[in-house]
Amino acid sequence: MSTLSEDELTRLYKVRKTMMEMLNDRGYLVEEFEIKMSKQEFLHKYGVNMKRQDLEILKAKRNNDEKKIYVFFPEGAKVGVKEMRPYAERLRQEEISQAIFVVQQKLTPKSLQFISEVSTMLHLEVFQEEELVVNVKDHAIVPEHQPLTNAEKKSLLERYTVKESQLPRIQINDPIARYYGLNRGQIVKIIRPSETAGRYVTYRYVV
């Protein structure tokens, strides 16, 4: 018998799919078949007796294969500092500075403090499974977002002779900002459909 119910297997299939889409949108090398994998293919690959930790993902940037990210799926429902330390140590040993944790419940305050304490060396992000069952980008009212590179940001500010602080803002904890893994100080290009101009472009500064 599987330790995971049918509902849990379905949820994890959807969560993994959203995570692959997210990594692809962040510029990591994700194959098309990994995004389009059916639930039947998912179960064939991982088995009905799968564990969450079997879903672990390691991806490199499309334009820089030395820049890698891990996605961890901790087994336990509650993830505390004790559970996070081995992951942090593994990242240090493999010299990978970025990781995403997909957890079942909110982290404990001490775990959040631990993430803050290691933030100078490791960039750790956390998503709950329920946040990833549906891709936030698929919501009908969410326009297209394109994070700018540093060079594109510099060019934009020079072209319009504005300071970044003069731009409209987007909070770093906004669901879309979290989806793209945006950092404070970045600028994101937002493209909305327009009946008159075809498309309407605005920019937002991450705070």
Q: At 157, which amino acid appears?
A: L
The pLDDT value recorded for residue 87 is 97
Percent of the chain with pLDDT over 90: 86
Confidence check: pLDDT of 25 > 80: yes
User: Taking residues 176-195, what's their average pLDDT?
Assistant: 92
In this prediction, residue 2 has a pLDDT band, given cuts at 50, 70 and 90, of very low
Mutual orientation of helices 39-46 and 6-25 as an angle, nearest 10°?
100
The pLDDT value recorded for residue 140 is 65
pLDDT in tens, 77-129: 999 999 999 999 999 999 999 999 999 999 989 999 999 999 999 999 999 99
Distance of CA 33 to the CA centre of its chain: 19
User: Taking residues 163-186, what's their average pLDDT?
Assistant: 94
In this prediction, residue 50 has a pLDDT band, given cuts at 50, 70 and 90, of very high
User: Taking residues 173-202, what's their average pLDDT?
Assistant: 91
Confidence check: pLDDT of 1 > 60: no
Match 């060396």 to its residue by tokens.
121
pTM listed for this prediction: 0.91
pLDDT in tens, 117-130: 999 999 999 999 99
Closest CA to 147 of 22, 58, 57: 22
| Burial of 8 per CB tally in 10 Å (0-12, 13-18, 19+) | middle
Q: Residue 159 in contact with residue 187, Cβ under 8 Å?
A: no
